[in-house]
Amino acid sequence: MPARKRHKQTEEHRDPIVRFAEALKRTELREQKERERKAEEKEAAKRAAIHAEHLKLAKIELDEAIAKVKRARADRSGIAEADQIWQIAKAKVIELETGAPPPWAQNKRDDPDADT
C-alpha cells in the first residue's frame, strides 16, 4: 500500500480564528510603530523649533553687540570690552549654526577675563 502523503499545514488550512488573532497582532504592532514614529517626529520638530528660537535670539544679541562695538569705536572708549562682548556673541551664533564652537573662542567661553 502506498504511503499517504500529508499536506503541510498552510495558511489556508489553519484555524480562521488563529489567523484572525495573528492579523490583529500584526496590525497592532504596525500601529504601535506608526505612533512611535509620529511621536519621534513631533519631538524632533519641537527640538528644531527651540533651536531656531535660540539661534534667532543669539543673532539679535550679536546685532546688539555689533552696535555696541560701533558706538564704542565712535566714542573711542570701551572698545576692548565691546569687542569681547562681540566675540562671545559671534561664537555663540557660530556654535548654534555649526554645532561646535569656533576654535578661537574656546578660552573666551571658559574664561571671559582671559584677555584682561
The whole-number pLDDT of residue 107 equals 62
| 77 assigned to some structural domain | yes
Mean pLDDT of 43-51: 97
Q: What's the CA gap between 20 and 109, in Å, rounded?
A: 62
Q: What's the CA gap between 114 and 89, in Å, rounded?
A: 16
| 57 assigned to some structural domain | yes
Q: Half-sphere exposure of residue 108, counting CA atoms within 13 Å on the CB side?
A: 17
| 3 assigned to some structural domain | no
| 6 assigned to some structural domain | no
pLDDT digit string, tens, across residues 70-102: 999 999 999 999 999 999 999 999 999 999 999
Structural domain that includes position 99:
12-110
Tally the domains of the chain.
Answer: 1
Residue 14: which pLDDT band, with cuts at 50, 70 and 90? confident
Of the candidates 107, 109, 111, the one whose C-alpha atom is nearest the C-alpha of residue 96 is 109
The whole-number pLDDT of residue 84 equals 94
The whole-number pLDDT of residue 105 equals 82
| 30 assigned to some structural domain | yes
In this prediction the pTM is 0.64
